């Protein structure tokens, strides 16, 4: 009888804590529940009222299944005796219908009910508490907070030249056998690394800005038609190439193995910043009575999209192409027509400077650790410069739009073209200087037409 069942003291104490009276505990024990099961139900938040309802339903043999439930059971392959057993154990019809619609099989339901009816409880396995990771690690915040560099201590800060795992195992964790690979294809540090990527990540997430609310959109006043068309064509050009860079980086990011998470994290911020540039320049084009312009020929895009390894992509996109984009942002900031455009170009410039910093420091890392790749990188730049020149030749719309924006009107386009040529010259000077810092001398190898622009 329920009133003769002895309640273990530990269970009695837990029952009092959870609001289960002694008679309910004795009734449950008499129905076949083990003390361990009851303690588990209490820890899961089962109330005394819920327990009484369950026991009452079980004692009454369960409710009679509805015709709708039986039809659903037949469709799901559940025999009627299984449905009646579930109802007798206190299951609600709605829950059973749910399980059937989710694809729970009859065998799975039987196993579940067997466990609930007093089956063996899972045994604890605490071996994970004794894995040989580096324990008692206490990273300390720096003046910039608890940064990625601050937690790169001990074993956790050791970045191997080759990452041996194809899974998503975090660096410093302990691998287990049998985990499926994630499809990574880049396992060499020299192919992706930059000593600056952790700092660039921290800077990127700290210097957030929101185009919707941070840009002073109300400062934009109507511009002459030629100027509005010029800025809209510039915005079209920039939106297009920033979207292309986001797409390309999005393709490469999942190829990088987890051992180089600093690079993966930084590239994630770069993709976000590309997306933000697409957003803000598209908004500028559509905010002052203008609209989008015409598409770019996209010659330069091909040299980036067709890159066959990560370093090739970085050399062409994040050093060559981004050097030009940075110069465009800097000169448009200088010639901005209102506070909104000044804000947009100024903040886009800061973001692009980080992209360039990663690209240049990556090339320097490659040159320092794989000097045999020097000629390989030079050939990537040969191709990239050739396609960039094609863009300049085949894209008069973008060139003329910049000239009108710099000159202030269509009538002053000649003066604007002079400014445009100065911008291109500054781009080339800074591009060569960045490569020189990365120990790549490009002066003698620069494409002849680019050299002519530099010397003009």
Q: pLDDT tens-digit profile of 7-22? A: 888 889 988 998 989 8
Model confidence at 60: pLDDT above 60: no
Of 59-63, 102-106, 156-160, 408-412, which gets the smallest average pLDDT? Answer: 59-63
Confidence of residue 4 (pLDDT cuts 50, 70, 90): low
Q: In this structure, is residue 131 part of a structural domain?
A: no
Q: In this structure, is residue 241 part of a structural domain?
A: yes
CA torsion, ordered 447, 449, 454, 456, to nearest 10 deg: 160
- Quote the crossing angle between the two packed helices 322-334 and 339-369, to the nearest 10°: 150
State the Rg of the chain over Cα.
33
Model confidence at 1: pLDDT above 50: no
388 contacts 321 by C-beta, under 8 angstroms: yes
**pLDDT number for residue 194:** 97
* Domain identity same for 271 and 412: yes
Residue that finishes a domain, picked among 109, 129, 147:
109
Looking at the structure of the chain, the number of domains it has is 2
* Domain identity same for 88 and 208: no
Mean pLDDT of 50-65: 69
**pLDDT number for residue 48:** 84
Of 131-140, 319-328, 371-380, which gets the smallest average pLDDT? Answer: 131-140
* Domain identity same for 205 and 71: no
Model confidence at 125: pLDDT above 80: no
Model confidence at 449: pLDDT above 90: yes
Task: Decide which of 150 and 64 is more confident.
Answer: 150
Model confidence at 399: pLDDT above 60: yes
Q: In this structure, is residue 26 part of a structural domain?
A: yes
Share of the chain above pLDDT 70, in %: 95
> What is the chain's mean pLDDT, rounded?
91
Residue 188 bridge partners (DSSP): 162
Residue that finishes a domain, picked among 109, 130, 147:
109
Q: How crowded is residue 345: how many other Cβ atoms within 10 Å of its Cβ?
A: 23
Q: In this structure, is residue 52 part of a structural domain?
A: yes
Q: In this structure, is residue 196 part of a structural domain?
A: yes
* Domain identity same for 310 and 405: yes
DSSP-assigned letter for residue 188: B
* Domain identity same for 232 and 95: no
Share of the chain above pLDDT 90, in %: 66
* Domain identity same for 71 and 201: no
201 is in which domain, residue-wise? 189-455
Confidence of residue 58 (pLDDT cuts 50, 70, 90): low
* Domain identity same for 203 and 305: yes
Q: In this structure, is residue 360 part of a structural domain?
A: yes
pTM (predicted TM-score): 0.75
Give residue-wise pLDDT tens across range 151-199. Answer: 999 999 999 999 999 999 999 999 888 889 889 999 999 999 999 999 9
**pLDDT number for residue 119:** 46
**pLDDT number for residue 7:** 86
Model confidence at 59: pLDDT above 70: no
Model confidence at 2: pLDDT above 60: no
**pLDDT number for residue 295:** 94
For 242, half-sphere exposure in the C-beta direction (CA atoms, 13 angstrom radius) is: 28
**Best mean pLDDT range from 15-19, 113-117, 131-135, 403-407:** 403-407
Tokens of 379: 């050939």
Q: In this structure, is residue 420 part of a structural domain?
A: yes
Q: Is 186 strand, coil or helix? A: strand
Task: Decide which of 277 and 99 is more confident.
Answer: 277
For 251, half-sphere exposure in the C-beta direction (CA atoms, 13 angstrom radius) is: 14
In sequence order, the 6+-apart residues with CB closer than 8 A to the CB of 285 are 231, 232, 235, 236, 239, 291, 292, 293
CATH code: domain of residue 199: 1.10.620.20
Task: Decide which of 177 and 222 is more confident.
Answer: 222
Mean pLDDT of 31-46: 79
Residue that finishes a domain, picked among 109, 131, 147:
109
Mean pLDDT of 371-375: 97
Mean pLDDT of 243-250: 96
Q: In this structure, is residue 35 part of a structural domain?
A: yes
Of 32-41, 144-153, 228-237, which gets the smallest average pLDDT? Answer: 32-41
């Amino acid at each position: 009888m329920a009133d003769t069942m002895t309640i273990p003291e530990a269970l009695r104490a837990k029952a009092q804590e959870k609001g289960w009276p002694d008679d309910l505990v004795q009734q449950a024990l008499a129905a076949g529940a083990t003390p361990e099961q009851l303690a588990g139900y209490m820890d899961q938040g089962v109330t005394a009222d819920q327990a009484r309802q369950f026991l009452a339903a079980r004692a009454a043999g369960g409710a009679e299944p509805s015709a709708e439930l039986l039809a659903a059971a037949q469709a799901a392959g559940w025999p009627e005796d299984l449905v009646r057993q579930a109802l007798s154990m206190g299951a609600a019809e709605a829950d059973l219908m749910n399980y059937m619609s989710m694809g729970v099989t009859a065998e799975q339901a039987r196993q579940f009910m067997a466990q609930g009816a007093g089956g063996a409880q899972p045994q604890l396995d605490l071996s994970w508490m004794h894995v040989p990771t580096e324990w008692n690690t206490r990273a300390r915040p720096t003046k910039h907070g608890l940064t990625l560099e601050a937690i790169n201590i001990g074993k956790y800060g050791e970045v191997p030249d080759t990452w041996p795992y194809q899974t998503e195992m975090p660096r410093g964790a302990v691998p287990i056998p049998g985990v499926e690979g994630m499809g990574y294809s880049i396992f060499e540090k020299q192919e992706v690394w930059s000593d600056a990527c952790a700092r660039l990540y921290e800077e990127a997430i700290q210097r957030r800005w929101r185009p919707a609310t941070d840009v002073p959109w109300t400062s934009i006043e109507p511009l002459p038609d030629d100027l509005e068309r010029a800025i809209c064509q510039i915005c079209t050009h920039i939106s297009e190439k920033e979207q292309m860079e986001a797409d390309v980086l999005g393709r490469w990011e999942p190829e990088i193995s987890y051992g180089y998470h600093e690079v993966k994290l930084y590239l994630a911020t770069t993709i976000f910043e590309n997306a933000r540039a697409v957003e803000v320049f598209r908004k500028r084009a559509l905010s002052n009575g203008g609209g989008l312009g015409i598409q770019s020929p996209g010659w330069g895009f091909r040299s980036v999209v067709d890159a066959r390894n990560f370093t090739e992509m970085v050399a062409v996109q994040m050093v060559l192409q981004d050097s030009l984009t940075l110069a465009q942002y800097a000169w448009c900031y200088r010639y901005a027509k209102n506070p909104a455009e000044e804000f947009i170009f100024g903040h886009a410039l800061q973001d692009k400077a980080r992209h360039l910093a990663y690209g240049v420091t990556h090339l320097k890392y490659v040159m320092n650790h794989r000097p045999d790749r020097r000629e390989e990188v030079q050939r990537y730049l040969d191709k990239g410069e050739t396609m960039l020149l094609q863009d300049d030749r085949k894209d008069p719309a973008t060139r003329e739009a910049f000239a009108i924006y710099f000159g202030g009107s269509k009538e002053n386009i000649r003066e604007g073209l002079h400014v445009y040529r100065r911008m291109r010259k500054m781009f080339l000077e800074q591009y060569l200087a960045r490569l020189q810092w990365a120990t790549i001398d490009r002066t003698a190898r620069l494409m002849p037409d680019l050299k002519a622009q530099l010397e003009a």
